[in-house]
């Protein structure tokens, strides 16, 4: 089957295009929501042999599935996988990160009750911004088609809109004709090394 060539295919594809545009070989990046490891594999390919991907998830099966996927591709040595909430990422990831990716929601094919939550997502986004280097980028795919996802979208957009434009640039990609609950993609680029305002 040939891949859909459309430019505006989905929020996830916009995110992937940004990964490819921003990440250079040798970079350190973070996958804040490992899930099945698809994004982590893409990130491992982009950082190259000398780069590093820190991955987070709260479910052991997400780490297992990601580890299997990376091992099959021979890229497992490019990733450090943490069974830890992304809101605690600053405890294990040093400053100097080029890109941090979030794909909110639940692990496909598993318990939908274990979904990302607005309070921890906001804390994690704030931690993520503190770790980025200048011109580092945060990419968040948001799924407002369920209740918690709707809360996450509202809180994230309100927080992102309040950030100082001298420190960060914020872009919200929304599929205006995608119907209620269409996933969107939030992108924040850090343009100056400054302390960001807290929540
Ligand atoms: C939509 S999935 C991610 C999909 C993944 N990016 C991929 O490529 O397959 C969302 C993941 O976030 C995880 N998650 C939920 N709360 C979390 C938290 N506080 N910290 C890290 N991961 C969390 C869930 O366990 C789930 O695996």
166: in domain? yes
39: in domain? yes
User: What are phi and psi for residue 79, nearest 5 degrees?
Assistant: -125, 145
197: in domain? no
In ligand 1, the atom with minimum distance to the C-alpha of 36 is 9
199: in domain? no
Torsion of CA 8, 22, 143, 180, to 10 degrees: -30
3: in domain? no
In ligand 1, the atom with minimum distance to the C-alpha of 115 is 15
Q: Which tokens is 24 given?
A: 């250079």
In ligand 1, the atom with minimum distance to the C-alpha of 121 is 19
Pairwise CA distance, residues 142 & 58, whole Å: 18
Determine the structural domain holding residue 38 and report its residue range. 11-190
97 CA to centre of ligand 1 in angstroms: 19
Q: How many domains does the chain have?
A: 1
Pairwise CA distance, residues 39 & 62, whole Å: 12
188 CA to centre of ligand 1 in angstroms: 20
The predicted-structure confidence for 145-155, as pLDDT tens digits, reads as follows 999 999 999 99
The residues near 130 (Cβ < 8 Å, ≥ 6 apart) are: 90, 95, 196
83: in domain? yes
166 CA to centre of ligand 1 in angstroms: 31
Give burial (CB, 10 Å; 0-12/13-18/19+) of 44.
Answer: buried
> For the domain that residue 174 is a member of, what is the CATH number?
3.40.50.150
pLDDT band (50, 70, 90) for residue 194: low
Nearest Cα residue to atom 22 of ligand 1: 57
Q: What residues line ligand 1, using a CB cutoff of 6 Å?
A: 33-39, 56-59, 62, 85-87, 103, 105-107, 114, 116, 120
Q: Which tokens is 61 given?
A: 């099966």
107: in domain? yes
The predicted-structure confidence for 66-99, as pLDDT tens digits, reads as follows 999 999 999 999 999 999 999 999 999 999 999 9
Q: Which tokens is 143 given?
A: 């799924």
77 CA to centre of ligand 1 in angstroms: 21
Terminal CA-to-CA distance of the chain, rounded, Å?
Answer: 45
102 CA to centre of ligand 1 in angstroms: 8
Give burial (CB, 10 Å; 0-12/13-18/19+) of 86.
Answer: buried
Q: Residue for token digits 């929304």?
A: 174
Nearest Cα residue to atom 27 of ligand 1: 35
The predicted-structure confidence for 107-157, as pLDDT tens digits, reads as follows 888 878 889 999 999 999 999 999 999 999 999 999 999 999 999 999 999
pLDDT for res 173: 97
140: in domain? yes
């Amino acid at each position: 089957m040939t891949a859909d060539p459309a430019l505006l295919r989905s929020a996830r594809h916009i995110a992937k295009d940004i990964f490819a545009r921003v990440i250079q070989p040798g970079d350190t990046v973070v996958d804040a929501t490992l899930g099945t490891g698809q994004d982590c594999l893409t990130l491992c390919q982009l950082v190259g042999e000398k780069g590093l991907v820190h991955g987070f998830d709260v479910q052991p099966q997400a780490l297992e599935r990601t580890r299997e996927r990376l091992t099959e591709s021979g890229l497992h040595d490019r990733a450090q996988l943490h069974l830890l909430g992304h809101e605690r990422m600053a405890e294990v990831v040093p400053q100097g990160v080029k890109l941090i990716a979030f794909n909110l929601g639940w692990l496909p094919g598993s318990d939908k009750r274990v979904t990302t939550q607005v309070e921890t997502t906001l804390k994690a986004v704030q931690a993520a911004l503190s770790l980025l280097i200048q011109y580092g980028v945060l990419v968040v795919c948001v799924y407002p088609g369920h209740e918690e996802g709707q809360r996450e979208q509202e809180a994230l957009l309100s927080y992102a809109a309040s950030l100082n434009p001298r420190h960060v640039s914020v872009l919200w990609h929304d599929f205006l004709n995608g119907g209620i609950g269409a996933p969107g993609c939030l992108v924040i680029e850090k343009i100056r090394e400054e302390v960001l305002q807290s929540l």
